[in-house]
Amino acid sequence: MKKLLTLLPLVAATPALAATGPFISLGNTDFIVLLAFILFVLVLVYFKVPGMIGGMLDKRADTIKAELEEARALREEAQTILASYERKQQEVKDQAAQIVEHAKTEAAEAAEQAKIQIAESIKRRLAGAEEQIKSAEAAAIKEIRDTAIAAAIGASKEVIAKKMTATEANKLIDASIGEVEAKLH
């Protein structure tokens, strides 16, 4: 501040050199302006306005510095949160990929199981159908035999009845009775 006061006369003297007539007089407007300016500067210094302005500027600088520090801290926190969310997003992507891969594996295994079960079911059904065919074939053969036997017996009866006489029939009956008695005893 003292440096400013020592430079003031030098700066104030410059307009004085340009004026005509005596510089130190109340008629010279340049001199009046110089006195008013010096008085204004002295009033400012007396009321410590430069110190107050410096204090306000320092206070404002401290406020800005605090805001910058807070902004820096918030930025670091935001970067930490962003990194955390990016890690979580990557973990979720990895989990989703694992779930999809697991589902594909399970689907493939289920398809293989279904193929095996269908093949076994087809084998069982074919075996059942073959059994039914064999059973039906055996029943048809038995039915044909029974029919053939019945027809043969019927034909034999007719042939025997036509060729056999009563005496021959009695002889056969007696022989059959004798044979049954021999087997029973």
In tens digits, the chain (185 residues) has pLDDT values of 555 556 555 555 555 455 566 788 888 889 999 999 999 999 999 999 999 999 999 999 999 999 999 999 999 999 999 999 999 999 999 999 999 999 999 999 999 999 999 999 999 999 998 899 988 888 888 888 888 888 877 777 777 777 777 787 788 788 888 888 888 76
Structural domain span for residue 111: 29-163
pLDDT at 28: 86
pLDDT at 22: 79
Residue given tokens 């493939």 in the structure block: 108
Give the C-alpha separation, 33 to 16, whole Å. 11
**How many CA atoms lie within 13 Å of 163's alpha carbon, on the beta-carbon side?**
6
Q: What is the reported pTM? A: 0.40
pLDDT at 160: 72
What tokens were used for 155?
A: 């034909």
CA distance readout (Å), 27 to 13, 20, 35, 36, 131? 17, 11, 13, 14, 143
**Does residue 88 belong to any structural domain of this protein?**
yes
Q: What phi, psi does 64 have (nearest 5°)?
A: -65, -40
pLDDT at 27: 82
Residue 19 DSSP class: S
**Does residue 56 belong to any structural domain of this protein?**
yes
Give the C-alpha separation, 58 to 125, whole Å. 97
For the chain, how many structural domains are there in total? Answer: 1
Give the C-alpha separation, 152 to 143, whole Å. 14
**Does residue 54 belong to any structural domain of this protein?**
yes
C-alpha torsion 133→137→139→142, nearest 10: -170
| Among the listed residues 21, 51, 26, 46, the one whose alpha carbon sits nearest the alpha carbon of residue 36 | 26
pLDDT at 91: 95
**Does residue 34 belong to any structural domain of this protein?**
yes
Give the C-alpha separation, 14 to 170, whole Å. 182
pLDDT at 13: 53
**Does residue 52 belong to any structural domain of this protein?**
yes
**Does residue 92 belong to any structural domain of this protein?**
yes
pLDDT at 19: 52
Residue given tokens 């073959």 in the structure block: 130
**Does residue 73 belong to any structural domain of this protein?**
yes
What tokens were used for 63?
A: 């406020």
C-alpha torsion 140→143→147→152, nearest 10: 90
